Chain A
Amino acid sequence: MDSEIALLHNYLIVGAMLFGIGTVGFLSRRNMIVMFLSAEMMLQGVSLSLVAWSRFRNDFGGQMLVIFVIAVAACEAAIALALVVALFRRSGKLDVAVWQQLREENQPPFEEPELPEEPSEQPPAWPSLAPAGLLPEAPPEQTDYRSHV
């Protein structure tokens, strides 16, 4: 049993080291490919500890999960590398800091438009009126319009 625990310790230490190195690499490097590699390294560190625990607990669920993770990571790698290639084609550089501003140079910055003040109401021009009584002649588009009801 002791040897099992020692074996688990070893694997967990290696997994933690992989994760730590990946983290530090991800935080400190600006090359997109290296950052991607670092992220993969973190992933593998976690996967390794999962496999180790699975072996220790004699439960194959962990190993299955790792196989899934590897499959997903493969897909993710395809997408990520495609993105890297696309970004590289646009700027000619692999530096991630190039993409600090997503707005392109020749575009004006977006500014929130100020809300307009209350609309000023121009009373419609009314036709001249008889002093009392009959409806004055007015075009229908004018009579249909009611600013207030």
Chain B
Amino acid sequence: MFEMDILLVLIPALPLAAAVLTAALGKHLLRGQSHLPAVAAIALSCLASIMLVFQVQGEADRTAGDTERVGCERIVRLWTWAAVEEAYPQTQSPSDAPAETAARSLQIDVTLRADPLTAFMLATVTFISLLVAVYSIGYMRGDPGYWRFFAYISLFVFSMTMLVSASNFLLLYVFWEAVGLCSYLLIGFWYQKPEAAAAGKKAFLVNRVGDFGFALGVFLIWTTFGTLNFHDVKIIEQTVLVNEVPTPSTTLVPDRYVGDAKVLGQKPGVLGQTMLKGPGLYEDLYRGLYPDRWQWAATAVCLLLMLGACGKSAQFPLHVWLPDAMEGPTPVSALIHAATMVTAGVYMVARCVPLFIASEHALQVVAVIGCFTALLAALIALTQTDLKRILAYSTISQLGYMFLGLGAATLVGVTAGMFHLFTHAFFKALLFLGAGSVMHAMGGVIDVRRFGGLRRLLPWTYGTFLVGCLALAGFPLLAGFFSKDKILEAVHGQTGPLYQVLFWAAVSTAFLTAFYTFRAFFLTFHGEERIPPEAGHHAHESPPSMIGPLVILAAGSVVVGYFSQWIFAFLEQTPSLAYGGVPKEAPGGEHAAGGLVVGVSIAVVLAGIAAAWLLYVGRRALVEPLSRAMDSLRLYQLSHGKFFFDEIYGLLVVKPLEALAWLSYFVDRYLIDGLVDLCGLLPKLLGAMLRPLQNGLVQFYALAMVLGVLVLIGALLI
């Protein structure tokens, strides 16, 4: 059995090694076998992650009765990345005590953490990645960039596993950017395609906006809390060699590295500080220093972090990049833009829930943004005709659900949000890979108006896609039902009119979700069989390496819902959630409403599916007058045009910036270049002035020489 530390290091290290190996050898040596290192590394990572989950569970069981240590948290410190002494300003009463000096120093360690939340995310990410990597073997076969694809995928898995296991904000930010980079590389994988290149650029730039907010949030965390660590550290005395002379010094290490060193004090991490009960060291040091700041700093930090999460998780107002990201290869859409990377924002907010709870309104903002995005994306998805884009909007919508769950500000809400992340990873990866299988058979056509009735042609895809659709719609007894229901319950359980509005908005979103999911499903697989000419005569079911992951994911989409109790109990052992900063239940909320919520949720799902069946299978004649009615109200255009966000942003952001770019171009072209041209013109003019002297008459040159010599002699004589 491996130690937890080794597992935690192996999980990101293996994909990194595979990425380096594939990048170095792929083009010339591995070529068609480039998938081997990536798949092997991700499979081992997945195995390690699952072992880590069980070890974390075992550790948590051991400390179950302990009041000192709640849950399981294991910090692995690899090396110190940066250390600045006296980085934090002096307090009102400056002191030279070593403990306080050390407390003011900035020390950034490369630390990984293992706790239930991280282990859970690691297992989800690596498992889905493994299936998608296997699927890609079949899907990407024969592509000229085969090795490049698997190098990027390994790099992505490395970045994502580091992101979820990082234990300080700076490291989190670094890998936050790294997954953004991988996303950019993979969206623009077919860089010869102008659309793909533009989509990659758009995703990167929209993410920059969010990342800028995130960076500001990290700065504000530093100035507010005086640390960037999630975990608490002890200040210990150690001896270092200065010019070969042993000199006493202080350093900051996580609890388990203290050993028998003398402990001078402690420095709680960001999450620890938000949960401090009495006045601790930091109460004196920092809160006492800026009493007012504490009030607004927590809210400002949370809103800035939420802006970062909006960018990465494609929430309103930064959701515009995700649908365009579908230009990438379909496995990428499944892996990065549906199942894993886009959940980074959800993970980050879940990680920082104690921080969000410390602020009065931050979680309400999260809930409102999530719910609004969920509804908006569902409305857009109603009329889209590109199968992958429908799924992309449903991803945005489901991510909104997750944020809504986190925003419910209770333990059950947070865990429900994370559980929805887990189940969503399964069925959304399944749906995307199924869409990829359809595309594969249809010769690259993905417009649902151009094919139909594929259920006999693609029986495996049909069956698995149906399971995915049912799970996404939240059909009873499938994975999506359990997680969505928990979120609805959590929101319903929260008091206040705001949450009641959010609840009903979420219920209507559930109806829309069921409707648009089955609209896409019926249009693709039911009705008369239509195959576009691009498919040629070889429209066929996909190879086993593509069907296998589909079947596994479909099985997962059915069964993972039944692990909800265990997963909830597991996640609740996360120290940051378990210390009591997060209320178990909403104060004064009604708990007896479970039955009502389940009933409403089942009813709307069935209504949604029935409506879709009626319109797209039963009586297609109804579609025409309905869409005409919607057309006359301009609602159809509004939805089909994606609420014109691209146009609005184009007008408000892109056009002014373009104008600025033109202005800069003209300043550069005519002002700066003018000056440079002037410099070039001076020697030219000088040359033109001196050119008549070169008249070709030997006597003239000789005379000039003689006169010059005379002048020299004259100068010497004088």
Q: Which residues of A contact B (CB under 8 A)?
A: 23, 26-28, 30, 35, 96-97, 99-102, 126, 129-136, 138, 143, 146
Which of B195, B388, B444: most chain A CB closer than 10 A? Answer: B444
Beta-carbon contact of A102 and B696 below 8 Å? yes
Interface 0/1 of B702-715, CB less than 8 Å to A: 11001000000000
Beta-carbon contact of B696 and A99 below 8 Å? yes
Beta-carbon contact of A100 and B447 below 8 Å? no
Please provide the chain B residues from 146 to 198 with a CB less than 8 Å away from any CB of chain A in the complex: 190-195
Q: With A129-B193, A133-B330, A133-B444 given, can you name 5 additional A-B contacts, CB distance below 8 Å?
A: A26-B699, A35-B698, A100-B695, A130-B445, A135-B192
Question: A133 with B446: in contact, given A96-B698, A99-B696 (CB under 8 Å)?
Answer: yes
Beta-carbon contact of B386 and A126 below 8 Å? no
Q: Name B709's closest neighbour in chain A (CB-CB).
A: A23
Which of A35, A100, A134: most chain B CB closer than 10 A? Answer: A134
B389 at the interface (CB under 8 A from A): yes
Contact residues in A for B330 (Cβ distance below 8 Å): 133
B686 at the interface (CB under 8 A from A): no
Q: Name B445's closest neighbour in chain A (CB-CB).
A: A130
Question: A131 with B447: in contact, given A27-B703, A27-B706, A143-B192 (CB under 8 Å)?
Answer: yes
Interface 0/1 of B509-542, CB less than 8 Å to A: 0000000000000000000000000100000000
Contact residues in B for A96 (Cβ distance below 8 Å): 697-699
Beta-carbon contact of A27 and B702 below 8 Å? yes
Bound-complex Cα distance A134 to B139 (A):
10
Bound-complex Cα distance A146 to B330 (A):
24
Contact residues in A for B436 (Cβ distance below 8 Å): 133
The 4 closest A-B pairs by CB, nearest first: A134-B444, A100-B696, A130-B444, A143-B192
Contact residues in B for A102 (Cβ distance below 8 Å): 696
Question: A136 with B193: in contact, given A27-B703, A130-B444 (CB under 8 Å)?
Answer: yes
Bound-complex Cα distance A131 to B532 (A):
14
Question: A101 with B389: in contact, given A126-B194, A135-B193 (CB under 8 Å)?
Answer: no
Contact residues in A for B447 (Cβ distance below 8 Å): 131
Q: Name A148's closest neighbour in chain B (CB-CB).
A: B197
Q: Name B197's closest neighbour in chain A (CB-CB).
A: A148
B326 at the interface (CB under 8 A from A): yes
CB distance from A130 to the nearest CB of B (A): 4
Q: Name B436's closest neighbour in chain A (CB-CB).
A: A133
CB distance from A18 to the nearest CB of B (A): 16
Q: Name B684's closest neighbour in chain A (CB-CB).
A: A112
Contact residues in A for B115 (Cβ distance below 8 Å): none
Beta-carbon contact of A23 and B386 below 8 Å? no
- Picked from B446, B702, B703, the residue with its CB within 8 Å of the CB of A130 is B446
Q: Name B189's closest neighbour in chain A (CB-CB).
A: A135
- In the assembled complex, 16 residue pairs joining A and B whose CB atoms fall closer than 8 Å, in A order, are A23-B706, A26-B702, A27-B706, A99-B696, A100-B695, A102-B696, A126-B193, A126-B194, A130-B446, A132-B326, A132-B446, A133-B329, A133-B330, A133-B388, A134-B439, A134-B443
- Picked from B191, B327, B443, the residue with its CB within 8 Å of the CB of A132 is B327
Interface 0/1 of B119-146, CB less than 8 Å to A: 0000000000000000000000001000
Question: A135 with B190: in contact, given A23-B706, A129-B195, A130-B444 (CB under 8 Å)?
Answer: yes
Q: Which residues of B contact A (CB under 8 A)?
A: 143, 190-195, 326-327, 329-330, 386, 388-389, 436, 439, 443-447, 534, 695-699, 702-703, 706
Contact residues in B for A30 (Cβ distance below 8 Å): 699
Bound-complex Cα distance A66 to B650 (A):
87
Q: Name A30's closest neighbour in chain B (CB-CB).
A: B699
Bound-complex Cα distance A45 to B129 (A):
97
Question: A132 with B386: in contact, given A27-B706, A143-B192 (CB under 8 Å)?
Answer: yes
Contact residues in A for B193 (Cβ distance below 8 Å): 126, 129, 135-136
CB distance from B342 to the nearest CB of A (A): 17
CB distance from A106 to the nearest CB of B (A): 18
Q: Name B143's closest neighbour in chain A (CB-CB).
A: A135
Contact residues in A for B143 (Cβ distance below 8 Å): 135
Bound-complex Cα distance A99 to B696 (A):
7
Beta-carbon contact of B697 and A97 below 8 Å? yes
Bound-complex Cα distance A45 to B326 (A):
93
Bound-complex Cα distance A40 to B389 (A):
94
Contact residues in B for A136 (Cβ distance below 8 Å): 193
Contact residues in A for B446 (Cβ distance below 8 Å): 130-133
CB distance from B461 to the nearest CB of A (A): 15
Contact residues in A for B698 (Cβ distance below 8 Å): 35, 96, 99
Bound-complex Cα distance A134 to B195 (A):
12
CB distance from B235 to the nearest CB of A (A): 50
Bound-complex Cα distance A99 to B697 (A):
8
Bound-complex Cα distance A32 to B106 (A):
86
Bound-complex Cα distance A71 to B386 (A):
95
Bound-complex Cα distance A86 to B659 (A):
68
CB distance from B23 to the nearest CB of A (A): 18
Beta-carbon contact of A101 and B696 below 8 Å? yes
Contact residues in B for A131 (Cβ distance below 8 Å): 386, 446-447
Contact residues in B for A28 (Cβ distance below 8 Å): 699
CB distance from B336 to the nearest CB of A (A): 15
CB distance from A40 to the nearest CB of B (A): 14
Bound-complex Cα distance A100 to B114 (A):
90
Bound-complex Cα distance A102 to B696 (A):
8
Bound-complex Cα distance A134 to B388 (A):
12
Contact residues in B for A26 (Cβ distance below 8 Å): 699, 702
Contact residues in B for A126 (Cβ distance below 8 Å): 193-194
Contact residues in B for A100 (Cβ distance below 8 Å): 695-697
CB distance from B450 to the nearest CB of A (A): 10
Beta-carbon contact of B699 and A27 below 8 Å? yes
- Picked from B192, B327, B697, the residue with its CB within 8 Å of the CB of A138 is B192
CB distance from A53 to the nearest CB of B (A): 18
Bound-complex Cα distance A110 to B706 (A):
31
Contact residues in B for A138 (Cβ distance below 8 Å): 192
Bound-complex Cα distance A131 to B388 (A):
10
Bound-complex Cα distance A81 to B376 (A):
98
Contact residues in B for A27 (Cβ distance below 8 Å): 699, 702-703, 706
Q: Name B385's closest neighbour in chain A (CB-CB).
A: A131
CB distance from A116 to the nearest CB of B (A): 15
Contact residues in A for B534 (Cβ distance below 8 Å): 130
CB distance from B449 to the nearest CB of A (A): 11
Bound-complex Cα distance A143 to B445 (A):
21
Q: Name B435's closest neighbour in chain A (CB-CB).
A: A133
Q: Name A115's closest neighbour in chain B (CB-CB).
A: B680
